[in-house]
Amino acid sequence: MQIKKIRCYREDEILPLYESVGWVNYVADPVRLKKAFEGSFAIWGAYENGKLVGLIRAVGDGASILYIQDLLVLPAYQRRGIGTSLMKTLLKQVPSVYQIVLMTDRVPHLLAFYRSCGFCMAEQIGCCSFLRMEGMEYVRFENEST
């Protein structure tokens, strides 16, 4: 496996990767995904025999904040250390960034993976996060006080 910077958006290899992991919002709007790639701080790809099998994409300023937007690996290649290699490659590029943030689904294997990469949940350090997504209305939960 080879990790290298993705310097240009190749829809023929990138869209199938997103589709393979079920990220349908990206697949449904390839024009938006291309714009997202063009505005990214860094994108690294994992290649096996010339085939893109995983990627990590980050946005931010590279000094005070870095947001890891996408980390995905083809299902047939998962649990082989590819995600870890991609994460280490990205983090090595930004050793002094003050705050590195990501958001993921609350499922045990993903939580365990990100913890193994040195991340903690925001509430563990007295923080919370807020999110606003296109097409989604805010829902107030019963136990939400403020």
Domains assigned to the chain: 2-103 (3.40.630.30)
Q: Structure pTM?
A: 0.88
Contacts 24+ apart (CB under 8 A), 75-79: 75/20, 75/21, 77/46, 77/48, 77/53
Binned at pLDDT 50, 70 and 90, residue 142 comes out as low
Q: How far apart are CA 124 and CA 110, in angstroms?
A: 17
Per-residue pLDDT tens for 99-115? 999 999 899 999 999 99
Instruction: Give the mean model confidence (pLDDT) for residues 83-96.
Output: 96
pLDDT at residue 138 in the model: 65
